[in-house]
Amino acid sequence: MFENKLLDLSFEFAVAIVTLVDGVTAPKSSYMTDQLARAGTSVGANIHEAQYAQSKKDFVSKLEIALKESNETSYWLKLMYETKRIDITTYQHTEKLCGNIRRLLIASCKTAKENAK
């Protein structure tokens, strides 16, 4: 159940990240938007890749990478908000999606590790 919801949410999140990045017009922001785009879209890529993991260990590893990438994405989102590259509404919406995915990833990793025992 979590994996299907994760797949859907992570794709929605990637779309939100791409839309956000494409909408940033502040000068000298490309280094931040590049990092945000990489980390934010990597979340979903790793979740999708986990669906074809070679083992439970590989599955957990891919989800843990997605979790780390979601944490990095939160950093870039906050930095972009604090430096006025994105507005509060965009920040809150995107960060909320990221937080929802992070909670599901934590639960999925925990469950997968327990089932592997």
Count CB neighbours of 33 within 10 A. Answer: 20
Give the pLDDT confidence of 91-110 residue by residue, as tens digits: 999 999 999 999 999 999 99
Domain boundaries, the chain: 2-116
- Tell me the average pLDDT across 31-53: 96
The yes-or-no verdict on residue 116 having pLDDT over 80 is no
Q: Note the pLDDT of residue 26.
A: 86
Class of domain 2-116: mainly alpha
Those residues whose C-beta lies under 8 Å from the C-beta of residue 13, and which sit 6 or more positions away, are 40, 43, 44, 94, 97, 98, 101
Q: Note the pLDDT of residue 1.
A: 45
CA atoms within 13 Å, Cβ hemisphere of 76: 24
Q: Which of 20, 39, 38 is nearest to 80 (CA)?
A: 20
Q: Where are the alpha helices (DSSP H) in the chain?
A: 2-23, 30-50, 56-82, 88-116
The yes-or-no verdict on residue 71 having pLDDT over 70 is yes
Q: Note the pLDDT of residue 36.
A: 97
Count CB neighbours of 54 within 10 A. Answer: 8
Give the pLDDT confidence of 2-41 residue by residue, as tens digits: 558 899 999 999 999 999 999 998 888 899 999 999 999 9
Q: Which of 7, 20, 25 is nearest to 76 (CA)?
A: 20
The yes-or-no verdict on residue 111 having pLDDT over 70 is yes
